[in-house]
């Protein structure tokens, strides 16, 4: 499964609808893109589609935010795979829902796939006044 969607910020709802229709209800979704590419913006749109109206920000210093009703958001920018595992946060992935991961390492992604989790990747890149979202299911 691989899908490319080009959308402006005003059209981000199309991306969210595609994700809702094509990603398992219990999944880990790696958000991949350069700084300011729109990873947190996509998380904001997903949270809003689930009725979460409060501020959605990147959990850069807290590592994880929970937006209720099975939506978790991680920012692993400062953490190596070993550091992440030593913090005991790994067990959070057993909770039902979507786990949106910014700056997750390839090592973590491969570990999760091998452990049997449903893992997806959304690669985000800029294209003039819009973004290109490539959605794919990860496998070994």
Summarised one tens digit per residue, pLDDT across range 66-100 is: 887 799 999 998 788 898 888 888 889 999 999 99
Any idea what DSSP says for residue 54? S
Residues 124 and 18: their CA atoms lie apart, in Å, by 15
pLDDT in tens, 55-66: 776 656 568 888
- How far apart, in Å, are the Cα atoms of 65 and each of 17, 39, 69, 75, 107? 22, 14, 12, 9, 22
Which CATH fold would you assign to the domain 2-137? Rossmann fold (3.40.50)
Q: What would the mean pLDDT of 17-46 be, rounded to a whole number? A: 93
Q: What is the mean pLDDT of the chain?
A: 90
Task: State the pTM of this model.
Answer: 0.91
């Amino acid at each position: 499964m691989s899908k490319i969607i080009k959308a402006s910020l005003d059209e981000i709802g199309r991306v969210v609808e595609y994700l809702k229709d094509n990603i398992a209800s219990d999944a880990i979704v790696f958000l991949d893109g350069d700084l300011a590419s729109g990873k947190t913006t996509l998380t904001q749109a997903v949270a809003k589609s689930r009725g979460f109206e409060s501020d959605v920000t990147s959990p850069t210093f807290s590592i994880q935010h929970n937006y209720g009703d099975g939506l978790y958001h991680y920012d692993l920018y400062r953490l190596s795979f070993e550091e992440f595992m030593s913090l005991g946060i790994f067990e959070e992935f057993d909770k039902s829902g979507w786990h949106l991961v910014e700056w997750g390492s390839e090592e973590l992604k491969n570990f999760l796939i091998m452990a049997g989790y449903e893992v997806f990747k959304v690669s985000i890149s800029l294209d003039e006044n819009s973004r290109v979202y490539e959605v794919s299911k990860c496998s070994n």
